[in-house]
């Protein structure tokens, strides 16, 4: 099971196997589309009868022969011992439960950045990602810099977080120097 198709999708045990993505937003469609490069089929399991994804992303899913959308359905359980061999899914309208053979289950149900302690102090967007000044790691509070998954809703990768951390550290050091502190 994985929370990141870009991180794990290319692993050998997902290749030429049926895969499953849980979700219905842009991320779920993006992850499903990406996984079609590796899997034989990608079941996109969504709890409602329409996707929350933008129209253009929805069309991308509908046009892709390797994406099979399973409507009104939730994941009940993952099946398998050391590795996933299937998924137990339930139709929320009929209560029908069935088992589908898949080698991987990918969660794409959204991310919540861990920024609550800074609410009311640092500017953030409506989903909680900190807002930094473009081209810098500066927040709205002088001397406070942000780096990583707390501000990056686009890439959310270890290497981009580390790069932002490096930039934030350099900016912090420069700021301290400007204050005559370091
Ligand atoms: C399941 C999974 C698989 C992933 N696989 C990959 C992958 O293969 N490749 C890849 O590039 N990326 C992967 N990622 C994404 C990657 O892990 C993140 O993008 C990266 O770790 C973000 O780094 P960060 O420093 O911003 O945040 P984090 O790594 O989350 O670090 C935040 C730190 O802050 C600490 N913290 C939180 N609150 C407080 C507090 N109040 N006080 C003090 N400390 C606090 C936490 O304990 C944590 O140590 C994966 C993520 C997940 C969830």
pLDDT tens per residue, the chain (182 residues)?
A: 999 999 999 999 999 999 999 999 989 999 999 999 999 999 999 999 999 989 999 999 999 999 999 999 999 999 999 999 999 999 999 999 999 999 999 999 888 899 999 999 999 999 999 999 999 999 999 999 999 999 998 888 999 999 999 999 999 999 999 999 87
**Whether residue 11 is found in the same domain as residue 100:** yes
The two tokens of residue 167 are: 């930039």
- The question of whether 166 is a catalytic residue gets the answer no
The two tokens of residue 161 are: 């977080």
What is the residue range of 138's domain?
Answer: 116-177
**Whether residue 9 is found in the same domain as residue 43:** yes
The pocket around ligand 1, CB under 6 angstroms, is made up of: 3-4, 7, 114, 117, 148-149, 156-159, 161
The Cα angle at residue 23 between residues 19 and 27, in degrees rounded to 5: 90
- The question of whether 4 is a catalytic residue gets the answer yes
pLDDT on residue 45: 98
Give domain status of residue 129, yes or no: yes
Among 88, 107, 126, give the residue marking a domain's end. Answer: 107
- Active-site residue (options: 7, 49, 77, 125): 7
CA–centroid distance, 149 to ligand 1, in Å, is 7
**Whether residue 48 is found in the same domain as residue 86:** yes
The closest alpha carbon to 61, from 31, 37, 33, belongs to 33
């Amino acid at each position: 099971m994985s929370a990141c198709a870009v991180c794990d999708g290319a692993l050998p045990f997902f290749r030429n196997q049926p895969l499953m993505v849980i979700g219905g937003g842009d991320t779920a469609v993006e992850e499903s589309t990406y996984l079609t490069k590796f899997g034989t089929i990608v079941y996109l399991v969504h709890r409602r009868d329409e996707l929350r994804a933008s129209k253009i992303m929805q069309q991308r899913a509908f046009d892709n022969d390797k994406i099979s959308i399973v409507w009104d359905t939730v994941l009940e359980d993952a099946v398998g011992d050391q590795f996933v061999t299937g998924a137990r899914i339930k139709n929320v309208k009929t209560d029908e439960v069935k088992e589908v053979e898949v080698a991987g289950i990918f969660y794409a149900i959204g991310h919540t950045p861990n920024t609550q302690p800074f609410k009311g102090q640092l500017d953030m967007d409506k989903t909680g990602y900190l807002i930094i000044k473009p081209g810098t790691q500066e927040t709205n509070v002088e001397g406070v810099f942000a780096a990583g998954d707390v501000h990056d809703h686009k890439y959310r990768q270890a290497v981009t977080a580390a790069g932002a951390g490096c930039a934030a550290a350099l900016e912090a050091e420069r700021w301290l120097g400007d204050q005559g502190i370091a």
